[in-house]
Amino acid sequence: MTGRSGGVRRVAAVLLTAVVCQPAPARSAPLPASAERASGVVTWAASADRLGEGTAGEDYRLIVHTSVGGDDPRVRLSNAFGDRPLTVDSVYAGVRGEGAALRPGSNRRLTFGGGRTVTVPAGAAAWSDPLPGRLRAGTDLVVSLHTPAAVGPATGHWLALQTSYTGRGDHTAEESGTEWTRTTRSWWYLDAVSVRPSRRATGAVVALGDSITDGRHSTMDRNRRWPDYLARRLNTAHAAVRGVADEGISGNRVLADGIGQSALHRLDRDVLSLPGVRTVFVFEGVNDLRAHPGVTAQDLIAGYRKIAERVHAAGKCVVAATIGPFQGRPEWDPAAEAVRRRVNRFLRTSAEFDATADFDRTLRSPHDSARLRPVLDGGDHLHPDDKGMRRLADVLDLRSLDCTRRPGFRPAHPAPVGSGAIRPRR
Closest CA to 147 of 277, 60, 222, 213: 60
Q: Where are the alpha helices (DSSP H) in 280-398?
A: 286-290, 297-313, 334-349, 359-363, 386-394
254 close to 300: Cβ distance less than 8 angstroms: yes
pLDDT digits (tens, 9 = 90+) for 283-294: 999 999 999 888
Distance of alpha carbon 97 from alpha carbon 141, whole angstroms: 10
Give residue 50's Cα distance to chain centre: 16
Q: Looking at residue 37, what DSSP letter applies?
A: P
The pTM of the full predicted model, rounded to 2 decimals, is: 0.89
Q: Where are the alpha helices (DSSP H) in 203-296?
A: 211-214, 226-236, 263-267, 286-290
Distance of alpha carbon 49 from alpha carbon 35, whole angstroms: 18
Phi, psi of 355 (to 5 degrees): -165, 160
- What is the average pLDDT across 42-56? 96
Distance of alpha carbon 197 from alpha carbon 202, whole angstroms: 7
Encode 113-127 in three state secondary structure.
CCECCEEECCCCEEE
CATH of 199-424, one of 3.40.50.1110, 3.40.50.720, 3.60.60.10, 3.60.21.10: 3.40.50.1110
- What is the average pLDDT across 207-216? 98
pLDDT at 17: 34
Task: Work out the end-to-end distance of the chain between its first and last CA atoms, rounded to an integer number of angstroms.
Answer: 50
Longest Cα pair distance anywhere in the chain, in angstroms? 71
Q: Which helix (H) or strand (E) holds 339?
A: helix 334-349
Q: Indicate the pairing of strand 70-78 with strand 190-196.
A: antiparallel
Distance of alpha carbon 298 from alpha carbon 373, whole angstroms: 28
Distance of alpha carbon 422 from alpha carbon 54, whole angstroms: 43
Residue 29 pLDDT greater than 60, yes or no: no
pLDDT at 354: 94
Domain ranges of the chain: 8-36+48-192, 199-424
Distance of alpha carbon 426 from alpha carbon 118, whole angstroms: 46
Residue 414 pLDDT greater than 90, yes or no: no
Q: Which of 91-105, 112-126, 411-425 has the lowest mean pLDDT?
A: 411-425
